[in-house]
Amino acid sequence: MPELPDLTPEMKAAVGKPGAPTTYEVTTLGIRTFARAVGYRNPIYFDAAAAKAAGHKDLVAPPGYYGMPVYNPNATAGPRADFDSPFTRNLNGGTGVYPIERVYAGDVLDAVTTLVELKLERGRLGQMLIRTSETVYTRKSDGKVVAKTRGTGLSY
């Protein structure tokens, strides 16, 4: 198992650096599928007429659903970490979702992820690298930030 005396200069330089934006499309199919999968029953997530009757402009995306990334099969390789980690095992340490504005069917969002904290800790499995990242979702049509997520990744 690798041991690091401290974060490498490359690791320290990655903190605070935003990644490239990823575009997400919010579709009616995606909204309905997500709402069904997590057990929501409110008709504003399933029926556009019910959503409009409730004062919304279209089908409402449930909290935590920000669409699907747009895939381009002709694009070069996707985003890559700014440093090489000596740790090969990775776990999701949790994600917090912070909705700010309603998201609707037809919205197109840009998401930018920034590594906000990186630290080495000792756990029961040995040394771990703990990454905390924040992703900001911005609606392209009006430039409003609609949500932020904060995630923790554990590598050991």
Domain boundaries of the chain, sorted by first residue: 1-23+75-156, 27-65
Mean pLDDT score of the chain, rounded to an integer?
Answer: 94
Q: Is 105:50 a contact under the CB 8 Å cutoff?
A: no
Give the domain 1-23+75-156 fold. Answer: Thiol Ester Dehydrase; Chain A (3.10.129)
Beta-strand (E) ranges in the chain? 22-25, 68-69, 90-99, 108-123, 126-139, 145-155
Task: Please tell me the distance from the alpha carbon of residue 148 to that of residue 146, in angstroms, as a whole number.
Answer: 7
> Taking a C-beta distance cutoff of 8 angstroms, is the pair 114, 131 a contact?
no
Kindly report the pTM of this predicted structure: 0.90
Residues in Cβ contact with 132 at an 8 Å cutoff, skipping those fewer than 6 apart: 115, 116, 117, 118, 150, 151, 152, 153
Instruction: Take residue 54 and report the two structure tokens written for it.
Output: 């409730």
| Neighbouring C-alpha atoms within 13 Å toward the C-beta of 54 | 14
Helix (H), strand (E) counts: the chain: 3, 6
Residue 150 has pLDDT above 70, yes or no: yes
CA–CA distances in Å: residue 113 to residues 23, 65, 89, 135:
12, 16, 21, 4
Output the CA angle 37-42-44, nearest 5 degrees: 105
Supply the pLDDT for residue 72.
Answer: 83
The per-residue pLDDT for range 19-43, each reduced to its tens digit, is: 999 999 999 999 999 999 999 999 9
First vs last Cα of the chain: how many Å apart?
A: 8
Mean pLDDT throughout 146-154?
97
pLDDT tens across 54-84, in order? Answer: 999 999 999 999 999 999 888 776 556 688 8
